[in-house]
Structure formats: C-alpha cells, structure tokens
Amino acid sequence: MISYLLYVTISIVLWVQLQPTLASVEITKGINGLDKLVLRQTHGSTVDVYLYGAHVTSWKNDQGKELLFLSSKATFSPPKAIRGGIPIIFPQFSNIGPLKSHGFARNRVWTKENNSRPLQSKPINEVFVDLLLKSTEDDLKIWPNRFEYRLRITLGLKGELTMTSRIKNTNTDKKPFNFTFAYHNYFAVSNISEVRVEGLGKLDYLDNTKNRTKFKDTRDIITINSETDRIYLGTPKKLAILDNKKKQREKSKTVDDLGPDDYKSMVAVEASAIGKPVILNPGQEWKASQNLSDVAVTVGLEVQV
C-alpha cells in the first residue's frame, strides 16, 4: 500500500492511498494479429510472450525500463523467426546437425496449458503461464522423434523472469533421441563501450568466427571490442552482465532482420546445452531453467527419469 500526504490550503491533511495493480496474465493480440500473453506484476514489471515460438519479446522492470533487445527490423511474420527477445532453440543449436539453423521450436505456434502439473509450490504473488509444444506429423518428417516440450514463464514479485523447460521423450519404439538447446537471450544494453560479462573468465570456448576452433579465454572478466560469437564450455550456473557492450558491425551488416546500428544496443548471452548433446530415453524428461534479474543470470540443467 502506497500513501501520499496532500496538504491543502485550509491545513487539512488528506491521505491518498493508491491501490497496487494485481498480478495478472492477459491474452491479447500483438503485432500482425499474433496471439500474445502479457504477464503483469503488482509493482509494474511486465513480460510479453507470443504463442508463436513461445517467444518472450519484452521484459520490463517496475520503472518501465526494457531489459530485452528487439531488432528494429524484427518481423512478426511466420514462418520467419522473431529477431530479439528470447527465442527458444530446440532441437538443434545453430547448424550443429541436419536441421535448419536453430531447429524449429521458435517457428511453431505453441498452446497455452490451463491444467498442467505443478513444478513446485507457487510462491505468493508469482504470476506465470504454461505453454506446450508437441511433435506434429510435419515435424516427424524432418526430425523423427516424438516429444512433449512444456515451458513455464514466471514473473516474480521483484520483477525477476524465470523460464523452466521440461522436454520429454514420448517415442513409443524404445528409441532414445538427442538434441541441443538454448535460451537465446538478447539483452538490451545502453553503452557498447563498457560491456563486461562476469562468470566466463578462464574457460574454454569454441570460436564461431573461426570454424568453432577451440581456445581458452585467459581473462577474468569478458569484454567485447570486435565481432564476438563464442560457445563457452563448462560454464558456471551464475553470470552477470555489467553495462554492456557488443560491437558487432560486421555481422549486423549481413543479417537481413537486424538494423545496421542495432549491434550498439544489444548483447546476446545464451543459456544452452551445446557442447555435449542431451540424450533422452523414452519416458525420460530433461529440465532446464534460467532466472533473469537486474542482478544476475542463474541457470540449471538436469535430466529426470
């Protein structure tokens, strides 16, 4: 409850009480008429999620500041993927495999689940939405594995954004399958000359600008002063991005849905399972979560039987 003192000329003190907004989930129409879910928290933070791709396109704090980057040339025109926000990468990261780059989950329309099984007890004032993607006959033609992918997107009381994925092998022929995965986070940045990423120092990485040649980063804190596209291996569960720089002029000129100067205002730091593909036996379920806040990025990955 927020209270203000209002002093009027006759020296009477009036208390004006403002009721906080209730936490809610609204179903509405977004760009080009695509279905969109808007999660709102009591103190003003919001998250926008499109059913197309289960794609988070906006995450704002309680001051209305946008924390995610969305390309100035992003198209909301299926089957093209949306550039920016948080695309879901499944079942293949990049071109590491036979499918189109980054798989097909980001190019499918997901469904909203109303009666999904709980992940855990629900904290007070947490607002969330559950989404579901199942393999279709068209999917089986290009990736012959049956699966169920459940995604919970949660907006916490303090504005933190949590995404929890559960991917289950539903093959009926006792056949395991393997996949790679990523939350392809595009973070909005304000100053490209001062980006620092904490938590990746002293790690091995694959350099995508050099045919995924393996190197070791000898620095404690990662800074970016040229085109940078790396897969860090054996990463910790917690990272921090400190006011942000990603100078990527060379690549931005070659991406048709990225504005020529967009590299100045974004940095992509992705939580992923790439170095060693996940293997799931029939009936097994794999769980991956990330928690994003103004303080840090926390990631957890595990297989459940």
Please report, in tens digits, the pLDDT of each residue of the chain (305 residues total).
Answer: 333 333 233 333 333 344 456 789 999 999 999 999 999 999 999 999 999 999 999 999 998 999 999 998 899 999 999 999 999 999 999 999 999 999 999 999 999 998 765 555 555 678 999 999 999 999 999 999 999 999 999 999 999 999 999 999 999 998 999 999 999 999 988 766 677 888 999 999 999 999 999 999 999 998 888 888 999 999 998 888 886 433 333 333 345 555 666 666 778 889 999 989 999 999 999 999 999 987 656 666 555 54
Assign domain 23-185+276-305 to a CATH class: mainly beta
- Tell me the CA distances in angstroms from 102 to 53, 106, 127, one per residue in order: 12, 8, 29
Question: Is residue 50 within 8 Å of 43, Cβ to Cβ?
Answer: no
Q: What is the pTM of this model?
A: 0.83
Contacts of 34 (CB under 8 A, 6+ apart): 50, 51, 52, 76, 78
Contacts of 45 (CB under 8 A, 6+ apart): 59, 60, 61, 62, 155, 159
**Radius of gyration of the chain, Cα coordinates, nearest whole angstrom:** 21
The one catalytic residue in 55, 102, 160, 184 is 184
Residue 184 among the catalytic residues: yes
Per-domain boundaries in the chain = 23-185+276-305, 189-269
Q: In the chain, how many H helices and how many E strands?
A: 2, 23
